[in-house]
């Protein structure tokens, strides 16, 4: 067990956790930030995607001890009122079905656009391949991302 | 017992009461009035709540004008929290933007809440229209009395009653008190809106949860939390039917944060559709501690009689047994003669593996058991069923059990079983803590209620007139019914109804037979259920029949459907009847004209017959399920052993389309769901255990390989609405296989597909 002070969504949180505890469970269980989802616990589905210094990481496979002073952004902090261009596009395109995978999808897409504001269709597919959607919303995810990048 | 005579709804009814049938027997909502002793349509019983107008259990209007509509069905991605309330809102004339949607608790007063079988809209479209129209009429009556005008000069819109002649308007809120004093009109007095007056029905309405989902605020079962809550992770017996011999909790308890280690007794065999598996739970302060605690836990198992089960071996055995004479399930004419006089005989065996649901949200539920009461938050497809099972397991009156239905991170049939909810409740009772059980992905893949493997053999004969003269379909798979009765060895009528005994084509000799297939796992139902392997065998074989007849595959099917007619084949079914998804064939006939129409439409939309570059091709399949007519064309581009799917075309007839956007999204998702099992997914068992562990071994389709464009055409119709959650799934895989054949010349008889 050790004490960690984490920078999350521009705020500072202090918590006690074993060093091997994945960031996912720190967020969900210790800090009650439950917008980040558990899907596989093994880096295979992307449901747990958050940003570490703006880059997408799988929080289920990222131990809290490796965070250090790096800034974390979760879906709760992506925008003030859920109005990030991608969050708006997600609604305009009616992307979500059950919605469970979508916070991970949005976080992954936001990191992609930060890196590559005008991705091609193939680049979107490649960047999003780690994010599973069992409801099968892929075609709408893609058009939502492309609509934002074309704006 | 060889096979069960129940249909799919009755299988569930064995476990979960009240069944949909009981509900329907109680009469229509309006005329029956009573369902299980609770009035649906009461203006009394308001007591202190005189400030509310509650003309029925689905609707309240406050003096502030807020219209609240109950969502009593479970939301799992199909959009039902939006699509059913909008039906009521449309009839009422409510301002949809301001309607408040409230998720109902488990309660018989709402009628059937078992969200399954693609029947929410089918079952509740009319009652919800009537519920809205009744309230509208009462509000209009109150306004007309106030204004001293005729009721039929008044209408409603945007949560107001309007009198067009005088230009007067009054908000619903201002009418609440007067309307509450009125008698509820008789069914015969109720006037439903004319189709052309619909504001919401038949249009595309965004889901009400869109913003919450996109901003991470949506609450799923796994997100439920109460003060003092602990997390449980359970080590379950790796073989179905096994049990705990002993366990050593010491090392688990040494993990910081672990609080308790508790055994959960399983039912042994039959495994049942409701009880937890035998296992040992680790309760901890948080999920990670519970996971680590479980890793450290030592359990000795008695693996029971299924410990030698090998699914590959079962497939090999079934391939042999389907060659023999089976149990006749439907017979028309004389197949033996048809075969003897055939010019050509085509025969193939079709194999499909076990599948897991793999909902993105694994099973999870929170329970608090205190002072003789139980309160649960759970992602359940069947809230009343879960409550009944909990009452039994906890030895509690139903009235002391409250079930809050969260959003479901996917259901697909998995979350109609309450086993994980029972786990949470038993652990909460035993430990005294509020307990949330969380299944890891490995748990989910190892311990699902699986979609069972299937082996089917079809023999098709073509006569000297170049007609399809005989059809002999042999079917073997472990039955869902075996999960509650291990002596069941063959598919039930309900399973055979799902695209096998309803074989719709004009063939003089039909013989459909089933064979023994013992179940060694928990078999459940997965989105479209047995339609998956049955449609695969039929629709790929018919593609070969077309080729053998020298006909275009689409023309072949149109030809085989014959004249426009309503099919009746009930008397050919050996168990005396065709269940027709629980509806009478008079109310929901099998209309070949509607099937032909969707086929022609999809062929037109896909520009069937168009020239494509080498390696690319189109494939076609049509399949009716859950009373909805669907035709599908898949375009492929084959590169060696991989395939791209640039386009999928669907045309469907689901009667009245309520929310066109959600119908389309169900078809888009249905294609992707089917693409997963067609190309990727398989569960295998060795020594009684599931071999796959997570999304590396049990793969589902990912964006780069997924169908790129999915075009969905909804036929214009005013017929009674039918479901759309499951019907897109069955025809996709055979259409894909037929396309790959057209591109490569290779027929595919096994899923996941290889060529
Ligand atoms: S939960 Fe982290 S990748 Fe699946
Ligand atoms: S929307 Fe359900 S898993 Fe993606």
Distance A42 CA to ligand 1 centre (A): 6
Residues B432 and B453 in one domain: no
Per the DSSP assignment, residues forming a β-bridge with B208 are none
Residues B372 and B398 in one domain: yes
Using the beta-carbon criterion (under 8 Å), do A132 and B709 form an inter-chain contact?
no
- For residue B720 the two structure tokens come to 């009674």
Residue B27 confidence (pLDDT) above 50: no
Q: With respect to residue B486, please indicate whether it lies within any of the assigned structural domains.
A: yes
Q: Which residues of A touch B407 (CB under 8 A)?
A: 98-100
- Please tell me the distance from the alpha carbon of residue B209 to that of residue B326, in angstroms, as a whole number: 50
Domain check: are B468 and B536 in the same one?
yes
Q: How confident is the model at residue B629 (pLDDT cuts 50, 70, 90)?
A: very high
B42-87 confidence digits (pLDDT tens): 333 333 344 689 999 999 999 999 999 999 999 999 999 999 999 9
Q: Beta strand pairing status for B230-236 and B258-264?
A: unpaired
Please tell me whether the overall predicted TM-score, pTM, comes out greater than 0.80 for this model: yes
Place of tokens 């509310």: B52
Q: Cβ–Cβ of B407/A37 closer than 8 Å?
A: no
Q: How confident is the model at residue B511 (pLDDT cuts 50, 70, 90)?
A: very high
Give the Cα separation of B719 and B721 in Å (integer).
6
pLDDT band at B20 (very low <50, low <70, confident <90, very high): very low
Q: How many other C-beta atoms are found inside a 10 Å radius of the C-beta of residue B577?
A: 14
Q: Please provide residue A36's backbone torsions phi and psi, each rounded to the nearest 5 degrees.
A: -85, 130
| CA distance to partner chain B, nearest, from residue A3 (Å) | 15
Check A29 against B671: CB less than 8 A apart.
no
Give the mean model confidence (pLDDT) for residues B147-174: 97
The predicted model gives B487-508 an average pLDDT of: 97
**Interior angle at CA B359, CA B629 and CA B445, nearest 5:** 120
* pLDDT for position B44: 37
State pLDDT tens for residues B109-141. Answer: 999 999 999 999 999 999 999 999 999 999 999
The mean predicted confidence, pLDDT, of chain B is 93
Averaged pLDDT, A138-151:
94
Per-residue pLDDT, B654: 98
Pocket-forming residues, ligand 1, beta carbon under 6 Å = A 38-41, 43-48, 58, 60
- Measured distance CA(B406)–CA(B376) in Å, rounded: 10
Chain A, nearest residue to B82 by Cα: A97
Asked if the model's pLDDT at residue B329 lies above 70, the reply is yes
User: What pLDDT score was predicted for residue A53?
Assistant: 98
Question: Is position B754 within any domain?
Answer: no
Residue B149 above 60 pLDDT?
yes
**Chain A residues in contact with B408 (beta carbon < 8 A):** 98
Partner-chain contact A138 B206, CB within 8 Å = no
Evaluate: CB of A141 within 6 angstroms of ligand 2. Answer: no
Are residues B260 and B207 both part of a single domain?
Answer: no
Domain CATH code at residue B232 = 3.30.365.10
Which tokens hold the place of A10?
A: 């521009």
B736 belongs to a structural domain: yes
Q: What does the alpha-carbon distance between residue A81 and residue B393 come to, in Å, rounded to a whole number? A: 44
Q: At B435, which helix (H) or strand (E)?
A: strand B435-438
Q: Tell whether A76 lies on the interface with B, counting CB pairs under 8 A.
A: yes
Are B207 and B225 in a shared domain?
Answer: no
Contacting A residues, span 34-63, partner chain B, CB-CB under 8 Å:
34-42, 44-45, 47
Based on the fold, state whether residues B120 and B178 are members of the same structural domain. yes
CB contact under 8 A, A45 and B360: yes
CB B407 within 8 A of CB B220: yes
pLDDT in tens, B338-383: 999 999 999 999 999 999 999 999 999 999 999 999 999 999 999 9
> For residue B489, what are the contacts with CB-CB under 8 A and spacing of at least 6?
B2, B3, B479, B482, B516, B517, B518
A-chain residues near B696 (CB < 8 A): 42, 44
Q: Which residues of B touch A94 (CB under 8 A)?
A: 204, 206-207, 210, 661, 665
Domain shared by B497 and B465, yes or no: yes
Give the pLDDT band (50/70/90) at residue B1.
low
The whole-number average pLDDT for the span A54-65 is 98
In this prediction, residue B11 carries a pLDDT of 45
Identify whether B2 is part of a domain: no
Bridge partners of B223, per DSSP, are none
For tokens 């897109």, the residue is: B728
Q: Is residue B264 located within the same domain as residue B323?
A: no
Q: For residue B344, tell me if it sits in a domain.
A: yes
Mind listing the domains of chain A with CATH numbers?
Answer: 2-74 (3.10.20.30), 85-149 (1.10.150.120)
Residues 6+ apart with CB under 8 A from B35: B23, B26, B27, B29, B108, B109, B111
Interval B642-671: pLDDT, tens: 999 999 999 999 999 999 999 999 999 999
Q: Is residue B1 part of a domain?
A: no
Of B438, B469, B501, which marks where a domain is finished?
Answer: B438
Cα(B487) to ligand 2 centroid in Å equals 37
User: What is the residue range of B333's domain?
Assistant: 311-356+449-744
Are B83 and B230 contained in the same domain? Answer: no
B120 domain-assigned = yes
pLDDT tens digits for range B563-612: 999 998 999 999 878 999 999 999 999 999 999 999 999 999 999 999 99
Question: Within this chain, do residues B165 and B252 fall inside the same structural domain, yes or no?
Answer: no
Cβ of A101 and B360 within 8 Å? yes
State the total domains in chain B.
3
Q: Which residue stretches of A1-151 are H helix?
A: 23-25, 85-92, 102-115, 121-127, 138-149
Q: Which chain A residue has its CA at the smallest distance from B675's CA?
A: A136
Residues B346 and B378 in one domain: no
Residue A30 reports pLDDT greater than 60: yes
Say yes or no: B224 contacts chain A, CB-CB below 8 A: no
CA–CA gap between residue B408 and residue B71 (Å, rounded): 14
Give the end of a domain, one of B384, B414, B438: B438
* Res A84 pLDDT > 70: yes
Residue B488 · residue B2 · CB < 8 Å: yes
| pLDDT number for residue B601 | 98
Answer whether A94 contacts ligand 2 (Cβ < 6 A). Answer: no
Q: Please judge whether A99 and B77 are an interchain contact, meaning their C-beta atoms are less than 8 angstroms apart.
A: yes
Task: Provide the pLDDT confidence category of residue B186 given band limits of 50, 70 and 90.
Answer: confident
Residue among B360, B665, B676 to mutate when testing ligand 2 (max atoms within 8 A of CB): B360
**Tens-place pLDDT, residues B516-553:** 999 999 999 999 999 999 999 999 999 999 999 999 99
Model pLDDT, residue B31:
28
Residues B184 and B300 in one domain: no
**Contact (CB, 8 A) for B522 and B489:** no
Is B444 within a domain?
A: no
The rounded percent of chain B whose pLDDT value lies above 70 is 94
Tokens of B93: 């004339």
**pLDDT on residue B6:** 57
Identify the domain boundary among B192, B215, B238. B215
Mark which residues 382-411 of B lie under 8 Å from A by CB: 407-411
Confidence of residue B188 (pLDDT cuts 50, 70, 90): confident
CA dist B532 and B523 (Å) reads 15
Q: Which chain A residues are closer than 8 Å to B707 by Cβ?
A: 138-139
Three-state SS across B3-71?
A: ECCCCHHHHHHHHCCCCHHHHHHCCCHHHHCEECCEECCCCCCCCCCCCEEEEECCEEEECCCCEEEEE
Q: Which ligand is nearest to the CA of A36?
A: 1
Q: Check if B48 contacts A (Cβ < 8 Å).
A: no
């Amino acid at each position: 067990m050790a004490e960690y002070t984490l920078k999350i969504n521009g705020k500072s949180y202090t918590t006690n956790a074993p060093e091997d505890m994945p960031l996912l469970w720190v967020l969900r269980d210790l800090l009650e930030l439950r917008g980040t989802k558990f899907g596989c616990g093994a880096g295979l589905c992307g449901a747990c995607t958050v940003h570490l210094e703006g880059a997408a990481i799988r929080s289920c496979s990222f131990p809290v001890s490796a965070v250090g002073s790096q800034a974390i952004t979760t879906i709760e902090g992506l925008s003030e009122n859920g109005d990030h261009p991608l969050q708006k596009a997600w609604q305009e395109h009616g992307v979500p079905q059950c919605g469970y995978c979508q916070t991970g999808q949005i976080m992954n897409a936001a990191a992609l656009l930060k890196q590559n504001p005008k991705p091609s269709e193939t680049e979107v597919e490649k960047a999003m391949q780690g994010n599973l959607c069992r409801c099968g919303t892929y075609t709408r995810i893609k058009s939502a991302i492309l609509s934002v990048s074309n704006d | 017992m060889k096979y069960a005579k129940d249909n799919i709804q009755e299988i569930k009814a064995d476990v979960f009461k009240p069944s949909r049938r009981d509900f329907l027997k109680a009469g229509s909502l309006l005329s029956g009035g009573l369902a299980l002793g609770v009035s649906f349509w009461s203006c009394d019983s308001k007591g202190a709540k005189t400030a509310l107008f509650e003309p029925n259990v689905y609707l309240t209007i406050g003096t502030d004008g807020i219209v609240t509509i109950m969502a009593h069905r479970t939301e799992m991605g199909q959009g039902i929290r939006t699509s059913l309330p909008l039906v009521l809102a449309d009839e009422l004339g409510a301002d949809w933007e301001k309607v408040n949607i409230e998720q109902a608790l488990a309660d018989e007063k709402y009628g059937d809440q078992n969200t399954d079988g693609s029947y929410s809209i089918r079952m509740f479209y009319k009652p919800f229209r009537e519920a809205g129209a009744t309230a509208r009429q009462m509000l209009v009556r109150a306004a007309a009395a106030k204004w001293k005008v005729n009721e039929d000069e008044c209408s409603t819109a945007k949560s107001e009653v309007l009198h067009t002649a005088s230009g007067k308007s009054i908000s619903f809120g201002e009418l609440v008190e007067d309307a509450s004093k009125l008698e509820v009109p008789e069914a015969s007095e109720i006037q439903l809106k004319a189709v052309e007056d619909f504001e919401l029905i038949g249009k595309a309405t965004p889901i009400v949860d869109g913003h919450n989902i996109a901003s991470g605020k949506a609450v799923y079962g796994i997100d439920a939390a109460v003060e003092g809550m602990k997390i449980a992770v359970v080590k379950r017996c790796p073989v179905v039917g096994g049990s705990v011999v002993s366990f050593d909790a010491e090392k688990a308890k040494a993990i910081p944060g672990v609080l308790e280690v508790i055994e959960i007794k399983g039912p042994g065999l039959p495994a049942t559709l409701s009880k937890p598996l035998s296992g040992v739970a680790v309760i901890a302060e948080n999920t990670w501690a519970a996971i680590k605690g479980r890793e450290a836990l030592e359990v000795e198992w008695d693996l029971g009689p299924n410990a030698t089960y090998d699914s590959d071996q079962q497939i090999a055995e079934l391939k042999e047994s389907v060659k023999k004479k089976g149990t006749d399930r439907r017979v028309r004419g004389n197949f033996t003669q048809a075969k003897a006089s055939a010019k050509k005989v085509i025969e193939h065996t079709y194999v499909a593996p076990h599948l897991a649901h793999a909902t993105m949200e694994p099973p999870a539920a929170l329970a608090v058991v205190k002072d003789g009461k139980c309160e649960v938050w759970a992602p359940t497809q069947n809230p009343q069923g879960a409550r009944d099972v909990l009452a039994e397991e906890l030895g509690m009156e139903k009235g002391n059990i409250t079930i809050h239905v969260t959003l479901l991170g996917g259901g697909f049939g998995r979350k109609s079983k309450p086993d994980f909810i029972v786990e949470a409740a038993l652990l909460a009772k035993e430990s005294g803590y509020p307990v949330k059980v969380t299944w890891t992905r490995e748990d989910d893949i190892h311990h699902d209620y699986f979609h069972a493997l299937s082996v089917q053999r079809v023999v098709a004969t073509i006569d000297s007139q170049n007609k399809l003269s005989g059809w002999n379909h042999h079917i073997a798979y472990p039955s869902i019914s075996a999960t509650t009765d291990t002596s069941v060895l063959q598919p039930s009528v309900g399973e055979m109804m799902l695209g096998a005994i309803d074989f719709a084509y004009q063939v003089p000799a039909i013989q459909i037979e089933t064979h023994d297939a013992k179940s060694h796992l928990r078999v459940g139902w997965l989105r479209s259920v047995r339609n998956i392997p049955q449609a695969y065998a039929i629709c790929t074989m018919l593609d070969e029949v077309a080729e053998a007849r020298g006909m275009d595959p689409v023309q072949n099917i149109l030809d085989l459907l014959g004249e426009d007619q309503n099919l009746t084949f009930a008397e050919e079914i050996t168990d005396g009847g065709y269940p027709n998804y629980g509806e009478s064939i008079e109310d929901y006939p099998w209309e070949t004209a509607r099937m032909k129409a969707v086929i022609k439409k999809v062929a037109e939309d896909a520009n069937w017959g168009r020239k494509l570059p080498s390696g690319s091709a189109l494939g076609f399949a049509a399949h009716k399920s859950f009373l909805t007519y669907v035709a599908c064309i898949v375009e492929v581009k084959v590169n060696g052993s991989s395939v791209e799917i640039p386009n999928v075309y669907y045309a469907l007839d689901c009667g009245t389309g309520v929310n066109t956007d959600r119908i389309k999204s169900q078809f888009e998702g249905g294609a992707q769901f089917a693409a997963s099992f067609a190309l990727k997914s398989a569960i295998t068992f060795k020594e009684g255990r599931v071999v796959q562990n997570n999304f590396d071994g049990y793969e589902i389709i990912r964006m780069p390989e997924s169908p790129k464009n999915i075009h969905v055409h909804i036929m214009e119709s005013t017929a009674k609405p039918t479901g759309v959650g499951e019907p897109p799934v069955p025809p996709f895989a055979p259409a894909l296989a037929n396309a790959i054949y057209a591109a490569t010349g290779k027929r595919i008889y096994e899923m996941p597909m290889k060529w």
